[in-house]
Protein backbone atom coordinates (compact mmCIF):
# COMPACT_ATOMS: atom_id res chain seq x y z
CA UNK A 1 0.00 0.00 0.00
CA UNK A 2 1.42 3.45 -0.92
CA UNK A 3 2.56 5.57 2.00
CA UNK A 4 1.38 9.15 2.58
CA UNK A 5 4.67 10.43 1.12
CA UNK A 6 4.22 8.16 -1.95
CA UNK A 7 0.69 9.47 -2.37
CA UNK A 8 1.89 13.04 -2.01
CA UNK A 9 4.48 12.49 -4.74
CA UNK A 10 1.91 10.85 -7.05
CA UNK A 11 -0.57 13.71 -6.57
CA UNK A 12 2.18 16.28 -7.10
CA UNK A 13 3.35 14.63 -10.34
CA UNK A 14 -0.23 14.25 -11.60
CA UNK A 15 -1.02 17.89 -10.86
CA UNK A 16 2.14 19.06 -12.61
CA UNK A 17 1.39 16.90 -15.67
CA UNK A 18 -2.21 18.09 -15.84
CA UNK A 19 -1.24 21.76 -15.62
CA UNK A 20 1.31 21.28 -18.42
CA UNK A 21 -1.35 19.52 -20.50
CA UNK A 22 -3.80 22.39 -19.96
CA UNK A 23 -1.18 24.96 -21.02
CA UNK A 24 -0.38 23.06 -24.21
CA UNK A 25 -4.06 22.42 -25.03
CA UNK A 26 -4.93 26.08 -24.58
CA UNK A 27 -2.04 27.18 -26.79
CA UNK A 28 -3.35 24.95 -29.59
CA UNK A 29 -7.09 25.54 -29.25
CA UNK A 30 -7.42 29.28 -28.91
CA UNK A 31 -9.72 31.16 -26.55
CA UNK A 32 -12.80 29.12 -27.45
CA UNK A 33 -11.11 25.98 -26.20
CA UNK A 34 -9.82 27.32 -22.89
CA UNK A 35 -9.67 24.69 -20.13
CA UNK A 36 -9.73 25.76 -16.51
CA UNK A 37 -7.78 23.36 -14.25
CA UNK A 38 -9.64 22.29 -11.13
CA UNK A 39 -8.61 24.09 -7.95
CA UNK A 40 -7.60 20.77 -6.37
CA UNK A 41 -4.99 20.33 -9.09
CA UNK A 42 -3.61 23.80 -8.63
CA UNK A 43 -3.56 23.62 -4.84
CA UNK A 44 -0.85 20.95 -4.59
CA UNK A 45 -0.47 20.97 -0.81
CA UNK A 46 -0.78 17.39 0.33
CA UNK A 47 0.55 17.29 3.91
CA UNK A 48 3.47 14.89 4.28
CA UNK A 49 3.89 13.32 7.73
CA UNK A 50 6.44 14.59 10.22
CA UNK A 51 9.22 12.08 10.79
CA UNK A 52 10.50 12.33 14.36
CA UNK A 53 13.48 10.26 15.45
CA UNK A 54 13.33 8.52 18.83
CA UNK A 55 16.57 7.21 20.33
CA UNK A 56 16.78 3.55 21.31
CA UNK A 57 18.10 1.72 24.37
CA UNK A 58 19.89 -1.61 24.19
CA UNK A 59 18.38 -4.29 26.42
CA UNK A 60 19.28 -7.92 26.86
CA UNK A 61 16.48 -10.44 26.40
CA UNK A 62 17.75 -13.95 26.89
CA UNK A 63 20.83 -14.47 24.76
CA UNK A 64 20.09 -11.54 22.44
CA UNK A 65 20.40 -7.77 22.54
CA UNK A 66 17.49 -5.63 21.33
CA UNK A 67 17.33 -1.98 20.28
CA UNK A 68 14.04 -0.58 21.54
CA UNK A 69 12.14 2.54 22.56
CA UNK A 70 9.33 2.73 25.08
CA UNK A 71 5.81 2.42 23.74
CA UNK A 72 4.64 5.49 25.70
CA UNK A 73 7.11 7.78 23.90
CA UNK A 74 6.12 6.57 20.45
CA UNK A 75 2.39 6.69 21.17
CA UNK A 76 2.60 10.12 22.79
CA UNK A 77 3.74 11.48 19.43
CA UNK A 78 1.22 9.61 17.28
CA UNK A 79 -1.72 10.07 19.68
CA UNK A 80 -1.08 13.80 19.96
CA UNK A 81 -0.84 14.17 16.18
CA UNK A 82 -1.90 11.60 13.57
CA UNK A 83 0.49 13.35 11.16
CA UNK A 84 3.58 12.13 13.05
CA UNK A 85 5.52 8.97 12.21
CA UNK A 86 8.02 8.09 14.97
CA UNK A 87 11.27 6.52 13.74
CA UNK A 88 13.37 4.48 16.21
CA UNK A 89 17.08 5.21 15.82
CA UNK A 90 19.23 2.19 16.76
CA UNK A 91 21.79 2.72 19.51
CA UNK A 92 24.77 2.32 17.21
CA UNK A 93 24.48 5.66 15.44
CA UNK A 94 28.17 6.27 16.20
CA UNK A 95 29.07 3.11 14.25
CA UNK A 96 27.29 4.18 11.06
CA UNK A 97 29.24 5.70 8.20
CA UNK A 98 29.12 9.48 7.82
CA UNK A 99 27.01 9.02 4.69
CA UNK A 100 24.55 6.76 6.53
CA UNK A 101 24.30 9.21 9.42
CA UNK A 102 23.59 12.07 7.01
CA UNK A 103 21.00 10.05 5.13
CA UNK A 104 19.19 9.06 8.31
CA UNK A 105 19.05 12.49 9.93
CA UNK A 106 18.36 14.13 6.58
CA UNK A 107 14.92 12.48 6.59
CA UNK A 108 13.99 13.65 10.10
CA UNK A 109 11.98 16.69 11.19
CA UNK A 110 12.77 16.40 14.90
CA UNK A 111 14.46 14.30 17.57
CA UNK A 112 13.24 12.94 20.91
CA UNK A 113 15.66 11.72 23.57
CA UNK A 114 13.73 9.44 25.89
CA UNK A 115 13.89 8.39 29.49
CA UNK A 116 15.32 5.00 30.40
CA UNK A 117 15.90 2.56 33.23
CA UNK A 118 19.63 3.07 32.66
CA UNK A 119 21.73 6.05 33.76
CA UNK A 120 24.46 7.87 31.86
CA UNK A 121 27.90 6.64 32.92
CA UNK A 122 29.51 9.24 35.24
CA UNK A 123 32.76 9.17 33.27
CA UNK A 124 30.97 11.45 30.78
CA UNK A 125 31.08 14.19 33.41
CA UNK A 126 34.52 13.29 34.77
CA UNK A 127 33.32 11.33 37.80
CA UNK A 128 33.61 7.70 38.84
CA UNK A 129 31.02 5.20 39.99
CA UNK A 130 30.05 5.70 43.61
CA UNK A 131 30.49 2.92 46.15
CA UNK A 132 27.51 0.62 46.10
CA UNK A 133 26.31 1.96 42.74
CA UNK A 134 23.64 -0.40 41.45
CA UNK A 135 22.21 1.65 38.57
CA UNK A 136 21.88 -0.07 35.22
CA UNK A 137 24.09 1.22 32.41
CA UNK A 138 23.78 1.34 28.65
CA UNK A 139 27.17 2.14 27.07
CA UNK A 140 25.71 1.67 23.59
CA UNK A 141 23.16 4.43 24.14
CA UNK A 142 25.78 6.66 25.79
CA UNK A 143 28.09 6.54 22.77
CA UNK A 144 25.30 6.53 20.18
CA UNK A 145 23.50 9.58 21.55
CA UNK A 146 26.70 11.62 21.76
CA UNK A 147 27.25 11.17 18.03
CA UNK A 148 23.53 11.61 17.37
CA UNK A 149 23.44 14.93 19.24
CA UNK A 150 26.49 16.27 17.45
CA UNK A 151 24.96 15.84 14.00
CA UNK A 152 21.38 16.68 15.03
CA UNK A 153 22.54 20.01 16.43
CA UNK A 154 24.66 20.73 13.37
CA UNK A 155 21.46 20.26 11.35
CA UNK A 156 19.47 22.43 13.79
CA UNK A 157 16.88 19.71 14.33
CA UNK A 158 14.23 20.51 16.96
CA UNK A 159 14.97 18.44 20.07
CA UNK A 160 12.81 17.36 23.00
CA UNK A 161 14.64 15.51 25.78
CA UNK A 162 12.96 13.66 28.64
CA UNK A 163 14.36 12.36 31.95
CA UNK A 164 17.57 10.48 30.97
CA UNK A 165 17.62 12.53 27.76
CA UNK A 166 17.41 15.68 29.91
CA UNK A 167 20.41 14.50 31.93
CA UNK A 168 22.35 13.54 28.79
CA UNK A 169 21.88 17.01 27.31
CA UNK A 170 23.02 18.73 30.50
CA UNK A 171 26.22 16.67 30.48
CA UNK A 172 26.68 17.12 26.72
CA UNK A 173 26.91 20.87 27.36
CA UNK A 174 29.46 20.45 30.12
CA UNK A 175 27.19 20.05 33.12
CA UNK A 176 27.25 17.38 35.85
CA UNK A 177 24.75 15.29 37.77
CA UNK A 178 23.88 14.37 41.34
CA UNK A 179 24.09 10.57 41.58
CA UNK A 180 21.46 10.31 44.29
CA UNK A 181 19.32 13.41 44.82
CA UNK A 182 17.76 12.01 47.99
CA UNK A 183 21.20 11.95 49.62
CA UNK A 184 21.95 15.62 48.88
CA UNK A 185 21.27 17.96 51.77
CA UNK A 186 18.46 20.40 51.01
CA UNK A 187 16.98 18.38 48.15
CA UNK A 188 13.85 16.28 48.47
CA UNK A 189 13.38 12.70 47.35
CA UNK A 190 12.33 12.79 43.68
CA UNK A 191 11.89 9.04 43.28
CA UNK A 192 8.58 7.32 42.69
CA UNK A 193 7.09 4.80 45.10
CA UNK A 194 7.58 1.59 43.13
CA UNK A 195 5.19 -0.28 45.40
CA UNK A 196 2.27 1.79 44.09
CA UNK A 197 0.34 1.10 40.84
CA UNK A 198 1.95 2.56 37.72
CA UNK A 199 -0.86 5.12 37.34
CA UNK A 200 -0.01 6.52 40.77
CA UNK A 201 3.73 6.51 40.09
CA UNK A 202 3.19 8.72 37.02
CA UNK A 203 0.56 10.96 38.59
CA UNK A 204 1.47 14.61 39.37
CA UNK A 205 3.80 14.61 42.39
CA UNK A 206 4.93 18.20 42.97
CA UNK A 207 4.79 21.65 41.37
CA UNK A 208 7.56 23.28 39.34
CA UNK A 209 7.98 27.02 39.02
CA UNK A 210 8.12 28.29 35.43
CA UNK A 211 10.77 30.93 34.82
CA UNK A 212 9.92 33.85 32.54
CA UNK A 213 11.17 34.02 28.99
CA UNK A 214 11.03 30.32 28.23
CA UNK A 215 8.93 27.98 26.12
CA UNK A 216 7.11 26.57 29.13
CA UNK A 217 6.22 29.99 30.54
CA UNK A 218 4.80 30.93 27.13
CA UNK A 219 2.85 27.71 26.62
CA UNK A 220 1.31 27.69 30.10
CA UNK A 221 0.72 31.43 30.54
CA UNK A 222 -0.83 32.91 32.65
CA UNK A 223 0.09 30.04 35.01
CA UNK A 224 3.48 30.46 36.67
CA UNK A 225 3.71 26.84 37.86
CA UNK A 226 2.47 23.41 36.82
CA UNK A 227 2.19 20.01 38.53
CA UNK A 228 4.54 17.31 37.22
CA UNK A 229 5.28 13.67 37.92
CA UNK A 230 8.61 12.75 39.54
CA UNK A 231 10.39 9.52 38.63
CA UNK A 232 14.14 10.03 38.90
CA UNK A 233 17.04 9.40 41.23
CA UNK A 234 19.61 11.57 39.44
CA UNK A 235 19.38 15.27 38.65
CA UNK A 236 21.28 18.36 37.58
CA UNK A 237 24.19 19.38 39.80
CA UNK A 238 26.09 21.85 37.61
CA UNK A 239 24.09 23.30 34.71
CA UNK A 240 25.67 23.02 31.26
CA UNK A 241 26.99 26.03 29.37
CA UNK A 242 24.51 28.09 27.37
CA UNK A 243 21.47 26.44 28.95
CA UNK A 244 18.54 28.56 30.15
CA UNK A 245 16.59 27.32 33.18
CA UNK A 246 12.91 26.88 32.29
CA UNK A 247 11.57 25.30 35.49
CA UNK A 248 12.64 24.51 39.06
CA UNK A 249 11.11 22.42 41.83
CA UNK A 250 10.46 23.80 45.29
CA UNK A 251 13.87 22.63 46.54
CA UNK A 252 15.64 24.57 43.78
CA UNK A 253 16.49 21.57 41.59
CA UNK A 254 16.54 22.36 37.86
CA UNK A 255 13.61 20.54 36.27
CA UNK A 256 13.69 21.94 32.72
CA UNK A 257 16.03 23.94 30.50
CA UNK A 258 16.34 25.19 26.95
CA UNK A 259 19.29 26.24 24.80
CA UNK A 260 20.01 29.84 23.91
CA UNK A 261 20.55 30.69 20.22
CA UNK A 262 19.10 27.46 18.85
CA UNK A 263 15.87 26.97 16.87
CA UNK A 264 14.32 24.66 19.48
CA UNK A 265 15.76 22.54 22.27
CA UNK A 266 13.74 21.79 25.38
CA UNK A 267 14.66 19.27 28.08
CA UNK A 268 12.44 18.27 31.00
CA UNK A 269 13.24 16.03 33.96
CA UNK A 270 9.68 14.74 34.27
CA UNK A 271 7.67 12.55 31.89
CA UNK A 272 5.27 14.50 29.61
CA UNK A 273 4.92 11.44 27.37
CA UNK A 274 2.74 9.76 30.03
CA UNK A 275 -0.88 9.67 28.81
CA UNK A 276 -1.06 13.13 27.18
CA UNK A 277 -4.71 12.42 26.34
CA UNK A 278 -5.39 12.35 30.10
CA UNK A 279 -3.03 15.07 31.38
CA UNK A 280 -3.33 18.44 29.56
CA UNK A 281 0.03 19.68 30.86
CA UNK A 282 1.71 16.69 29.23
CA UNK A 283 -0.21 17.15 26.00
CA UNK A 284 0.84 20.82 25.84
CA UNK A 285 4.54 19.92 25.85
CA UNK A 286 4.25 17.15 23.26
CA UNK A 287 2.02 19.32 21.05
CA UNK A 288 4.38 22.28 21.40
CA UNK A 289 7.27 20.12 20.24
CA UNK A 290 5.30 18.75 17.28
CA UNK A 291 4.14 22.24 16.28
CA UNK A 292 7.75 23.44 16.30
CA UNK A 293 8.88 20.51 14.17
CA UNK A 294 6.13 21.35 11.69
CA UNK A 295 7.07 25.05 11.62
CA UNK A 296 10.77 24.29 11.07
CA UNK A 297 9.87 21.86 8.28
CA UNK A 298 7.68 24.48 6.60
CA UNK A 299 10.55 26.98 6.70
CA UNK A 300 12.98 24.49 5.18
CA UNK A 301 15.56 22.41 6.96
CA UNK A 302 18.79 24.03 8.04
CA UNK A 303 22.17 22.37 7.62
Separation of CA 268 from chain center: 11
Residue 8: domain span: 4-42
Instruction: Tell me: do 110 and 219 sit in the same domain.
Output: yes
Same domain flag for 37 and 54: no
Domain match, 14 and 146 both: no
Q: Is 163 one of the catalytic residues?
A: yes
- Exactly one of 121, 190, 232, 271 is catalytic; name it: 271
Same domain, 109 and 18: no
- pLDDT of res. 52: 98
Q: Are residues 36 and 70 in the same domain?
A: no
Question: How many C-beta atoms lie closer than 10 Å to residue 217's C-beta?
Answer: 17
117 and 18 within one domain: no
Which candidate in 168, 192, 255, 273 is catalytic?
273
**Model confidence over 167-206: pLDDT tens digits?**
999 999 999 999 888 787 888 877 777 788 889 899 999 9
Mean per-residue pLDDT over the chain, rounded:
86
Indicate the number of domains in the chain: 2
The arithmetic mean of pLDDT across residues 256-270, rounded, is: 96
3-class SS of residue 3: coil
Instruction: Let me know if 55 is a catalytic residue.
Output: no
Length of the chain: 303
29 and 113 share one domain: no
| pLDDT above 80 (res 44) | no
pLDDT tens, residue by residue, 90-101? 999 999 999 999
CATH number of the domain enclosing 89: 3.40.50.880
User: What distance in Å separates the CA atoms of residue 299 and residue 303, rounded to the nearest whole number?
Assistant: 13
Region 207-216: mean pLDDT is 96
pTM of structure? 0.82
41 in active site: no
Please indicate, yes or no, whether residues 24 and 56 belong to a single structural domain of this protein.
Answer: no
What confidence tier does 13 reach under pLDDT thresholds 50, 70, 90?
A: low
Q: Select the highest-mean-pLDDT range: 18-22, 80-84, 126-130.
A: 80-84
Name residues whose C-beta falls within 8 Å of residue 18's C-beta, 6 or more positions apart in sequence. Answer: 37, 41
Cβ 196 vs Cβ 146: under 8 Å: no
Residues 61 and 130 in one domain: yes
CA dihedral angle for residue 178, residue 231, residue 287, residue 242, rounded to 10 degrees: 0
CA distances in angstroms from 303 to 52, 104, 151, 238, listed in the order given: 17, 14, 10, 30
Q: Tell me, yes or no, whether 227 and 268 share the same domain.
A: yes
Q: Does 36 share its domain with 55? A: no
Catalytic residue of the set 55, 121, 140, 163:
163
Is residue 87 located within the same domain as residue 177? Answer: yes
Amino acid sequence: MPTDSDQAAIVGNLASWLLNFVDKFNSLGGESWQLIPHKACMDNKVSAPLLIGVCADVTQQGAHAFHQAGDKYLRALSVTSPNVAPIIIPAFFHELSAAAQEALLGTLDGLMLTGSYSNLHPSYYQQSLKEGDDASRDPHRDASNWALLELAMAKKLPILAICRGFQELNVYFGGSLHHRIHEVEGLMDHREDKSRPIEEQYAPAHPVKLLTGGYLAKWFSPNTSIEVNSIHMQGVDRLGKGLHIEAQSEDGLVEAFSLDDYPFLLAVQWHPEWKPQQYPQNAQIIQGFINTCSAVKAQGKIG
